[in-house]
């Protein structure tokens, strides 16, 4: 109440000051205007009467002069007209008026002596009078003077009304201010604050409710956003703690962000974790004159971003967004996530030549098809190799600058874009503990042997202390490749490589995802979403399948569509009753192979749809766009079956994302045997994506599977993903890094 009173008093004082200033200015302006108007009227009247008065004075006819004075004295506002002779003596009957004008004698004499005119205001009794004295000249000699007296009280009366009117207006305005202030404070401040207080109280007592909508976007909008974020954090922490307590009682242990954070602190102390990848976790782009922060479509980002949120540190990546530079500081850094900063993102800028040679060229036209055995020939160009080396060197210089003052820093390098980076860092900082995680498969030695720079790549990788793959088979292939290409000592019992006094451990670390929170899942109404997709996409089907992929030739999308086509051929009862939704994110479209592949996908979809579609149904809905997690989630929750048909994949996190969203324990996962995930997710329906007949039968099996069997399978799958989540993966990898022997830094300051 005190703040409301202070606000009202302040507003009234300000309003009164403004009103008083402008009223004073208005009164002064009006007073001057009316005085000037009265002056002009007096001058005009005096000049018009002056000639007549001079003639009468010359004739000395007193009666004519009295009649003239009598004629004008009854005019509106004119109090009298007095005529003086050349000696300054009043010669008209109006001389009685002069009794109230004390200085008339001196004023008239001054006018006659100076042969001029004079005006002013005088107080005559209770009246305020305006006078105008005019010297009457004849042949250059004063023959008398004419004085015109007019009532000036109306000016004061008018000015008084202005003050009264403005005062009444101020009172009315003050009343409106008080009323408006009370209403605004009640509706926009005190009321919402009371709601926020009640909401926080309920949250504190453990009730999970949405924040009040009334104050969203209002003056309390920023506070509401921060409190909402805090509430979500508290609720998440409470849920994790409750889950942890339940698992502790049952003798189990679940890895959570909080547990990972504590584990990292125990293992590393105050040391930071440095993550290096080509893809950045947050990208700033310009959208309709505004800058928006988006999360790029990437399995690597999906997996690693929660880790950096949990334990903090620095993420070094290529800044590819068209507004990335605008959002960085002078050191090319920005704290992320935007809504709740937890770690630092440092961006590296690449030229078009560097990006084309490093990313599109050597990485994705060379190493990518080399490691994925999908019958696509790798392309190796010398110019691409030179740019690949240049970019690796640029990242090395940047990270070396960041770790300049840190002893034994922990560096986690991601994927095939930086095969040379471990050795470049190790040469300068032997004390750095480096892990390289290879997210894609590693081929057999014969396949890898076609790379012209295989030795340089292997030497770069072996600069790391730990090399991680998703599955043991890829570890075996890597060691076989090293054994066939380099002179080295391989310890097959410990799975390590000894070369020139440096040991590199090779380990499988199956990557995963975090379980989607119950709060997020509860926001998705599957039945309501089915109604939405009927309106938006025309999906009139009893059963819905979903696929989520980058549009890449390794994902088996064409093979998947052929399987759906065969399914509809073999089981025509599903024509009109089954629709498959493919959410495809365009990728690497600068590469001709990818451009041609997208065209092939679209052509295949058109062919199958043209063959089977009816007036209000089609078998495949192809949504080609970059979809956010919030866009994909309803499709995961609604689908009866999810198809993951990769021809060769290191792990494939789409399969695990789908499982993490199915808290209803419904839905069936059909999974390619050529994914790393198939080693863990045994309760999925495992298929060979090249076997079209088997895929068609498997789709039917998934749709007709008894509900209890679906639930049993999904329950087992969820327990696997929940137990072996991304936080366990990070904990295992960080534990392995922390257990590496610590070496001294020969380049340290003072050494």
Residue range 519-724, CATH number: 3.40.50.2000
Question: How many alpha carbons lie under 13 Å from residue 31 in its C-beta half-sphere?
Answer: 15
Instruction: Judge: domain 261-508, CATH 3.20.20.140.
Output: no
Cα separation of 657 and 667, whole Å? 13
Cα separation of 387 and 440, whole Å? 21
Q: What pLDDT score was predicted for residue 718?
A: 95
CA distance readout (Å), 356 to 85, 298, 351, 383, 476: 109, 19, 9, 10, 32
Q: What pLDDT score was predicted for residue 213?
A: 59
Average pLDDT, the chain: 85
Cα separation of 500 and 606, whole Å? 58
Query: What residues are paired with 79 via a beta bridge?
Result: none
- CB contact burial 119-154 (16+ within 10 A = b; e otherwise): beebebeeeebbbbbbbbeeeeebbbbbbbbbbbee
Cα separation of 136 and 150, whole Å? 19
CA distance readout (Å), 32 to 156, 449, 635: 12, 102, 78
Helices 2-59 and 153-184 cross at an angle (nearest 10°) of 170
Identify the burial level of 575 via C-beta atoms within 10 angstroms of its C-beta, where 0-12 means exposed, 13-18 middle and 19 or more buried.
Answer: middle
Q: How distant is the alpha carbon of residue 55 from its chain centre?
A: 91
Lowest-pLDDT choice from 214-218, 376-380, 604-608, 674-678: 214-218
| Residues with Cβ within 8 Å of residue 586, at least 6 apart in sequence | 551, 598, 624, 625, 626
Phi, psi at 186, each rounded to 5°: -70, -45
Query: What residues are paired with 414 via a beta bridge?
Result: 437
Check whether 100 has a pLDDT greater than 80. Answer: no
Domain with CATH 3.40.50.2000 in the chain: 261-508, 519-724
Band of the pLDDT at 311, cuts 50, 70, 90?
confident
Q: What is the pLDDT of residues 322-346, one digit of tens each?
A: 899 999 999 999 999 888 888 999 9
- For domain 2-157, which CATH number applies: 2.40.70.10, 3.30.450.20, 1.10.510.10, 2.60.40.10? 3.30.450.20
Average pLDDT over residues 598-610: 96
Question: Is the model's pTM score more than 0.85?
Answer: no
Check whether 383 has a pLDDT greater than 60. Answer: yes
Token pair for 536: 């938006």
Q: Are 579 and 621 within 8 A, CB to CB?
A: yes
Phi, psi at 679, each rounded to 5°: -70, -25
Band of the pLDDT at 190, cuts 50, 70, 90?
confident
Lowest-pLDDT choice from 245-249, 289-293, 472-476, 553-557: 245-249
Q: What is the pLDDT of residues 248-288, one digit of tens each?
A: 544 457 888 878 888 888 888 778 899 999 999 999 998 88
Token pair for 39: 């002056």
Domain with CATH 3.30.450.20 in the chain: 2-157
Check whether 321 has a pLDDT greater than 70. Answer: yes
Residue whose C-alpha is closest to residue 578's, from 623, 636, 641: 641
367 vs 262, more confident: 367
């Amino acid at each position: 109440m005190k703040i409301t009173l202070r606000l009202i008093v302040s507003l009234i004082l300000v309003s009164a000051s403004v009103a008083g200033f402008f009223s004073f200015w208005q009164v002064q302006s009006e007073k001057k205007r009316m005085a000037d108007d009265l002056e002009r009227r007096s001058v005009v009247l005096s000049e018009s009467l002056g000639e007549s008065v001079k003639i009468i004075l010359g004739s000395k006819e007193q009666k004519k002069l009295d009649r003239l004075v009598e004629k004008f004295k009854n005019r509106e506002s004119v109090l009298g007209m007095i005529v003086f002779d050349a000696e300054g003596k009043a010669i008209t009957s109006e001389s009685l008026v002069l009794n109230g004008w004390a200085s008339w004698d001196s004023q008239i004499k001054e006018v006659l002596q100076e042969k001029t005119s004079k005006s002013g205001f005088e107080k005559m009794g209770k009246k305020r009078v305006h006078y105008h004295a005019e010297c009457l000249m004849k042949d250059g000699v004063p023959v008398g003077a004419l004085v015109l007296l007019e009532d000036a009280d109306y000016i004061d009366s008018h000015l008084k009304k202005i003050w009264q009117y403005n005062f009444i207006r101020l009172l009315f305005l003050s009343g409106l201010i008080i009323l408006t202030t009370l209403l605004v404070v009640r509706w926009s401040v005190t009321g919402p604050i009371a709601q926020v207080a009640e909401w926080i109280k309920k949250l504190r007592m453990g009730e999970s409710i949405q924040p009040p909508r009334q104050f969203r976007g209002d003056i309390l909008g920023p506070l509401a956003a921060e409190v909402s974020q805090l509430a979500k954090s508290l609720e998440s922490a409470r849920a994790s703690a409750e889950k942890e307590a339940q698992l502790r009682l049952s003798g189990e242990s679940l890895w959570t962000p909080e547990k990972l954070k504590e584990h990292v602190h125990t293992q590393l102390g105050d040391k930071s974790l440095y993550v290096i990848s080509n893809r950045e976790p947050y990208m700033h782009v310009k959208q309709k004159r505004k800058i928006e922060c988006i999360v790029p479509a990437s399995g690597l980002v999906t997996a690693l971003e929660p880790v950096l949120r949990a334990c903090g540190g620095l993420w070094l990546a290529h800044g590819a967004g068209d507004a990335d530079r605008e959002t960085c500081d002078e050191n090319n850094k920005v704290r992320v996530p935007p809504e709740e900063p937890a770690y630092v993102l440092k961006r590296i800028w690449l030229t078009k030549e560097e990006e084309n040679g490093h990313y599109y060229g050597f990485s994705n036209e060379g190493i990518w098809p080399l490691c994925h055995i999908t019958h696509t020939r790798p392309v190796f160009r010398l110019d691409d190799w030179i740019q690949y080396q240049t970019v690796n060197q640029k990242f090395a210089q940047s990270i070396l600058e960041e770790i300049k003052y840190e002893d034994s820093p922990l560096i986690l390098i991601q994927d095939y874009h930086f095969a040379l980076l471990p050795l470049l860092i190790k040469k300068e900082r032997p004390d750095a503990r480096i892990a390289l995680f290879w997210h894609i498969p590693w081929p057999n030695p014969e396949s890898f042997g076609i790379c012209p720079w295989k030795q340089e790549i292997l030497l770069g990788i072996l600069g790391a202390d730990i090399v991680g793959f998703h599955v043991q088979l890829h570890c075996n292939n890597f060691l076989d490749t090293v054994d066939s290409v380099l002179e080295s000592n391989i310890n097959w019992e410990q799975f390590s490589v000894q070369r020139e006094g440096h040991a590199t451990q090779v380990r499988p670390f199956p990557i995963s995802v975090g379980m989607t929170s119950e709060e997020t899942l509860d926001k998705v109404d599957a039945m309501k979403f089915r109604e939405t997709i009927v309106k938006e996409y025309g999906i009139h089907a009893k059963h819905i399948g979903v696929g989520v992929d980058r549009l890449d030739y390794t994902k088996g999308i064409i093979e998947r569509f052929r399987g759906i086509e065969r399914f509809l051929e073999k089981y025509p009862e599903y024509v009109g009753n089954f629709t498959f939704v493919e959410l495809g994110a365009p990728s690497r479209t600068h590469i001709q192979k990818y451009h041609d592949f997208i065209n092939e996908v679209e052509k295949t979809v058109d062919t199958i749809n043209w063959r089977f579609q009816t007036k209000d149904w089609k078998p495949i809905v192809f949504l080609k766009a970059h979809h956010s997690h919030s866009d994909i989630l309803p499709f995961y929750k609604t689908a009866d079956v999810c198809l993951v048909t990769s021809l060769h994949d290191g792990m494939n996190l789409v399969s695990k994302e789908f499982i993490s969203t199915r808290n209803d324990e419904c839905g069936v996962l059909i999974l390619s045997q050529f994914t790393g995930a198939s080693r863990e997710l045994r309760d999925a329906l495992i298929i060979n994506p090249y076997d079209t007949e088997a895929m068609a039968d498997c789709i039917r099996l998934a749709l007709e599977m008894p509900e209890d069997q679906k639930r049993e399978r999904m329950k087992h799958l969820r327990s696997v993903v929940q137990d072996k989540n991304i936080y366990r993966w990070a904990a295992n990898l960080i534990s392995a890094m922390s257990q590496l022997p610590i070496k001294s830094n020969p380049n340290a300051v003072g050494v």
